Amino acid sequence: MKRIAVIVALESEYALVGKALGGRPEMSLSLCGIGKVNAAVGATSLIERSKPDIIISTGVAGAIDSSLKPMDIIVAERVAYHDVWCGGDLPVGQVQGFPLFFDADKELYAKAMGLKVDGLTIKGGLQISGDRFITAADLPALRSLYPDALSVDMESGALSQTCHRYGIPFISFRIISDSSDEGSYNDFWSLAPENSFRVLSSFLDAIQ
């Protein structure tokens, strides 16, 4: 049986997912905290402690693509940084010695994109990440840098880079908290945890 690790950034997510996964002995759950350093430290600790076969990141993200709405689910086909530049001829977003884009595991991504969860829209594509809270004023620059980016968060880049270094299959699920044109969903924090778990539970059933 595959050892599956789930990593989240927020304590509220940790409490809910922990209760939901209590009956799955093959699972481990880790709380990393917000931002790149916390994500990298948390993922490294998780890998060295639990030796997982798969790491799943779940949490929230803000929309960049104007077609996305709050409560939509994003599956990262690949992840990139929006706040890194190592100078010289390297493009913005690329850490020297690493690829510009960190790809999700192809088999896991295919399973994720095959999910059907009632009442939820699941889209796959580019997730970008960095240590900045993004506002509407930042969106034009992000779209110029990554025209095909769907959404943005603060942990996926560091998590995917850490998994790349260790050779651990990785996939990220994010629920959209803010659309680019309509703002937040009024009942987001009451409904988002339940919807996130419905997707995660369906995915776990699909890969086991």
For this structure, is 77 an active site residue? no
State how far the Cα of 175 lies from the Cα of 71, in Å rounded to an integer: 6
Q: Which of 13, 72, 153, 155 is catalytic?
A: 13
| Token pair 């960190």 in the structure block, residue | 102
For this structure, is 13 an active site residue? yes
Residue 59 in 3-state DSSP?
strand
Identify the sign of the CA torsion 98, 104, 107, 108.
Answer: positive
Assign 3-class secondary structure to 141-163: HHHHHCCCEEEEECCHHHHHHHH
State how far the Cα of 158 lies from the Cα of 123, in Å rounded to an integer: 21
DSSP assigned state of 204? H
State how far the Cα of 41 lies from the Cα of 136, in Å rounded to an integer: 30
Q: Which of 131, 153, 155, 178 is catalytic?
A: 178
- CA geometry: angle at 71 spanning 67 and 76, to 5°? 70
Q: Which residues does the annotation mark as catalytic?
A: 13, 178
